[in-house]
Amino acid sequence: MNSELLEKDRKYLWHPYTQMKDYEKDYPVLIERAEGIHLYDHKGNVYYDTISSWWSNVHGHNHPHVQSAIKRQLEELDHVLFAGFTHKNAILLGEHLVRVSPRNLTKVFYSDNGSTACEVALKMSFQFWKNTGQGEKEKFIGLENGYHGDTIGAMSVGGVSVFQETFAPLLFSTFKIPSPYCYRCPCGKERENCAIECINPLEELLEKKNKEIAGIILEPLMQGSGGFIIYPVEYLKKVAELARMYNIHLIVDEVATGFGRTGKMFAVEHADVEPDFMCLSKGITNGSLPLSATLTTDEVYEAFYADYTENKTFYHGHTYTANPLSTAAGVASLELFKKENTLEKVSGTIATLHQNMQKFRDLDIVGDLRYIGMVAALELVKDKFTKEPIPFEKRIGFKVYKKGLKQGLLLRPLGNIIYLFLPLCVKEDELMDIIERTYSVIAAL
């Protein structure tokens, strides 16, 4: 039966971010069940889910509290449109999100994935300036190596060329500023003695163009798909200060960094920053069902609140906006943070992760080790001293992925970047086992 299923996979399916020719003589791993931080395939193999199933699993797979909430909701209401209708879980989740978010964020707009959460923020920002008589503010700033999703607007403000270059003719024009990439500093500095000079291009741009700029979007403290670039808190603080000074919106994409990944509920808390928009998805439902949310301020909300004839309505929506099953999972996931003291418990695990990753620095192939919260990344290089990258055609990441499977690890590298993006529920003995197995994979290279 399983062999027949896999043949049908090959015949009918097209997987994301996958060169399907790689599976001409092989098959994707057929996962039959999951529990905690483990995945179980059809052959009885067990894998550590070291990347939280694309960064979405927080409390462990099939957590009984989340599962029971979904089951209860399924008996009452599976789906209803959210235009002119509402339901309990959407309301309760909105209340939960506002309570745990920066205090200026008071309104919640639901959609269904990280890309749309960012699209919503961009469109709200754009229309805000139109609604308030400042229609010349139409441009957005994004960061090199930034990633905000694969829809057209999200790609337009992104900065990962390999994801965008094919679609360049479809994208709208944006400003791009250098990434605060400490290992490959755009200013040629060393972090130990820099003064965050990488902020200067943003300040210069805003001095000249602020009247035409609507906002800046960035991933706070960690650029995920751009290579797990972890940057200083001071940079984020300076961006926020400049946004306020030059009257542009600060949009933070917390799709990957939200819900405890950095050790705090949201990454902006490390810098005590209050953004104008915060985009959430992935961990919002513990990875069980699709859902996203864009949070914003009373000021933004009031700019759309008008008589219908003024045509200030926000014309945006999705069929599955605020789906009852998804929002039930979201409520349950947020309840678990309090019920299980998740953030308090994980602080010790974070220290263990950071301390035990240090030994990777001694490997010749490891150019840089960077980490924040329950995320750790290794940048593999051809030459440790010159920082020369490993050539694309060597496909080192795919080799790591294959070796990882043999070691019972789900590792899905980003090119030459090998990373751990661990569920917050990982136990210390599991963590040590994961680190040891990962070390053996990298050392063997």
Enzyme catalytic residues? 17, 147, 253, 282
Rg value, the chain, Cα? 22
Helix 324-339, helix 88-100: angle, nearest 10: 40
**Residue count (the chain):** 445
Q: Are 45 and 408 in contact (CB under 8 A)?
A: yes
3-state secondary structure of 146: coil
Which tokens hold the place of 69?
A: 């909430």
Helices (H), 75-168: 88-100, 114-131, 152-156, 161-164
CB atoms within 10 A of CB 348: 10
Helices (H), 251-311: 298-302
Helix 64-74, helix 324-339: angle, nearest 10: 150
Q: What secondary structure does DSSP assign to 338-383, as a single string?
A: HHTTHHHHHHHHHHHHHHHGGGGGGSTTEEEEEEETTEEEEEEEEE
CB atoms within 10 A of CB 103: 8
Which tokens hold the place of 345?
A: 């418990």
**Residue burial 32-47, b: 16+ Cβ < 10 Å; e: rest:** eebebbbbebbeeeeb
Residue 286: CB partners within 8 Å, gap ≥ 6? 56, 57, 58, 59, 63, 66, 329, 332, 333, 336
